[in-house]
C-alpha cells in the first residue's frame, strides 16, 4: 500500500500508467467490451469486481489528461435506434471535471466501430465488471507539469 494512492490501483496498473507517455491512450472498458480481441497489441489489465466510475476516479488521481487536444476523453456513441439510456456518462463527466477542471467540453462521442478502431491502438485496456451499456471510456494521457 502507498499513501495517497487509491487502493483499487494495483501495482501492475500503476506501473502501466507510469510507463505510458504523452498521447498514449487508455481504455477503461465495461464488462461487454471485447477487451482481449481489441487489445491484442495492448496491455490488458483486469479489474474484476469494480465498475468504470470507481476505476476512472482512481486513475484520474494519477493520470493527467492531454491539454494539447480538444477532446482527450472519448465515449462510444449509442448506435442509432438503440433504446439505451446512458446516465453513467454524467458520472464520468463529473469525475473528469473534478479531476481536470478545464472549462468547456473535453469529452467527445464517436461511432461504435470507430471507437473499436481507436481502441486497437490503445496502450492499455482496463477490463471492469461494469454493467452499464456503452460504459466504455478512452483517455488520452497528457504531461505532468
**Residues catalogued as catalytic:** 22, 66, 116
Within 10 Å of residue 46's Cβ, how many Cβ atoms? 15
Burial class (CB in 10 A: 0-12, 13-18, 19+), 90: exposed
How many alpha carbons lie under 13 Å from residue 55 in its C-beta half-sphere? 28
Overall residue count recorded for the chain in this entry: 145
CA distance linking residue 42 with residue 99, whole number of Å: 25
- Dihedral sign of CA atoms 125, 79, 99, 52 in order: negative
Amino acid at each position: 500500500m502507498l499513501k495517497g494512492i487509491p487502493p483499487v490501483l494495483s501495482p501492475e496498473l500503476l506501473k502501466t500508467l507510469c510507463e505510458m507517455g504523452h498521447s498514449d491512450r487508455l481504455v477503461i472498458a465495461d464488462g461487454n467490451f471485447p477487451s482481449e480481441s481489441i487489445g491484442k497489441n495492448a496491455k490488458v489489465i483486469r479489474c474484476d469486481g469494480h465498475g468504470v466510475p470507481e476505476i476512472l476516479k482512481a486513475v484520474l488521481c494519477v493520470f493527467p489528461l492531454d491539454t494539447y487536444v480538444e477532446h482527450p476523453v472519448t465515449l462510444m456513441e449509442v448506435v442509432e435506434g438503440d433504446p439505451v439510456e446512458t446516465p453513467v456518462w454524467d458520472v464520468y463527466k463529473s469525475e473528469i471535471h473534478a479531476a481536470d477542471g478545464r472549462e468547456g467540453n473535453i469529452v467527445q462521442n464517436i461511432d461504435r466501430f470507430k471507437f473499436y478502431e481507436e481502441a486497437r491502438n490503445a496502450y492499455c485496456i482496463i477490463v471492469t465488471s461494469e454493467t452499464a451499456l456503452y460504459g466504455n471510456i478512452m483517455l488520452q494521457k497528457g504531461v505532468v507539469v
